[in-house]
Structures are given as structure tokens and as C-alpha cells.
Structure 1
Amino acid sequence: MPLPQLHVSRHDRTTGALLTLSGEIDLATVPRVYAALAACLRDGVHGIDVDLTAVTFCDVSGLHAFLTASWLGADAGTVLRLRHAPPAMARVIEMTGSGFLLDEEHAVRSVSPRVPTVVCRAVTAPTRGSRGR
């Protein structure tokens, strides 16, 4: 079975950088995404546009890379925007509360640009002999 392929290209512009990704983003290929985003942050790029037009698959590791770059760049005033996300990918991004990464033109719906708060509650099943204490 062939390994997934991902091609990453960077085009610097006066207003920032455009990263064009094509192929699959998963555990095997996400290091390339991290490297490209880290290079932009290291170079002081203030606007990173990521063109996802040719991305055929993106798992949670790809979303994590985009969120990490967004959070790391926020202190330096860097804005990361995902452009032309395939509809299924855009929907997952929205469902996870990460819609602030999408450019307004391609967002499924508007989402406030804040990190979602997740509250977890431990639930224990009653054991035999316990009375729901």
C-alpha cells in the first residue's frame, strides 16, 4: 500500500505568505505541514493563508497543526486563514469549534474567534451492591 502524499509550496507576498497544500494530511504527512507553518512563524510572517483546494483528506492531526500555528502566532499578531477547505473538512472544522480558522467566504456558519471550552464530567456506573451513592 503506497504511503500518502502531500505537497507543500510556499509563496511569499507583500501581505504574508500563501501555503498551498495538495494531497492527504494525516499522521504520516503532518510533519510537513508543521514545518511549513513553523517556517512562516519563524520568518515573522503576519498573515498565513493556507490554500486547501487540492487537499483530499485531513485527519485530526492536520487540524491540530493549524490550531497550534494559530495559537502560537496569535501573540506575534500572525493571522492564519484556511482557504477553500473542501466542504466535509470545513464542516468538521466548524463542528469542533475551530471555524475561526476558516476565511469568511468559505465558513459554513459564523463562529466566534475564541478557543472552545470543553467541560468533562466523570460518570461512574453503579456497581452491584451499591445504592447509587
Structure 2
Amino acid sequence: MRSAQLNVYRHDRDTRALVTLAGEIDLATAPLLRSALTACVHDGIRTVDVDLTAVTFCDVSGLNVFLALSRLANDAGMTLQLHYPPLTLARIIEIAGPCFLLHELHGTPATG
């Protein structure tokens, strides 16, 4: 059985960070995701844009990380937005109700 892999790239510009993810987000890789996003909070980043274009899979472990970090960001006066999630993740978010996580384009959630 192959283990999941997640690559995390972060590019900062002033108080804004673009975090680009590539691979799978699951129970094995969720701690890496949590660590990367938590670092943004501790580094004084005010806006975190998470590009999910290259994410091939995301289960509830990943959703839980996004929800927890969204609350942490909100408490710190930050913004965390997901961009171009895989269709399955966008659907899970839509069903679960935390659509505030998704960056909106022309009034509808981005579902790249």
C-alpha cells in the first residue's frame, strides 16, 4: 500500500501568504498541512490564500484542519480562503456548511 504524499509551498508577500498544496490530504498528511497553516498565524500573516489546484484527494482529516485553522485565523483577525478545491472537496464543504472557506468568484464557490 502506497502512503499519501503532500507537498506544501508557501510564498509570502508582506502580510499575505499563498500556500500551494499538491498531492493528497488525509490522516497521514493532515499534520503537515496543520503545521504549515499554523506557521502562517504565528508569523503574523494577515491573509492566507490556499491554492488547492493540484490536490488530488482530501478527506475529512483535511476538512477538519481547514475548519480548525479557519477558527484560529478568525480569532487572530486573519483571513483564510481556499481556492480551486477539487470538486469532491468543494461538494463536502457545500454539504457540511462551511462555505465561508471557499473563495467566491462571481457569486459561486470556486470548484476548479
TM over 0.5: yes
List gaps (5 residues or longer) in structure 1. 109-133
Q: Structure 2 matches for 1:3-82, cutoff 5 A?
A: 3-82=3-82
Aligned residues: 108
* Matched-pair identity in %: 56
User: Bigger relative contact order, structure 1 or 2, given CA contacts below 8 A and separation 6+?
Assistant: 2
Q: Determine whether 1:107 maps to 2:106.
A: no
Q: Quick check: which one's strand share is greater?
A: 2
List gaps (5 residues or longer) in structure 2. none
User: Once the 2 structures are TM-superposed, how far is the Cα of residue 14 of structure 1 from its aligned partner?
Assistant: 2.7
Q: State the superposition RMSD in angstroms.
A: 1.2
Q: Quick check: which one's helix share is greater?
A: 2
TM-score of the pair, normalised by structure 2:
0.91
The answer as to whether partners of 2:33 and 2:65 remain within 8 angstroms in 1 is yes
Q: Structure 2 matches for 1:76-95, cutoff 5 A?
A: 76-95=76-95
Runs (4 or more) in structure 1 with deviation over 3 Å come to none
Cα deviation code 1:40-90 (max 9, x no counterpart): 001111100000000000000101101111101112211000001112211
Any idea what SS the aligned residue of 1:3 has?
coil
TM-score of the pair, normalised by structure 1:
0.78
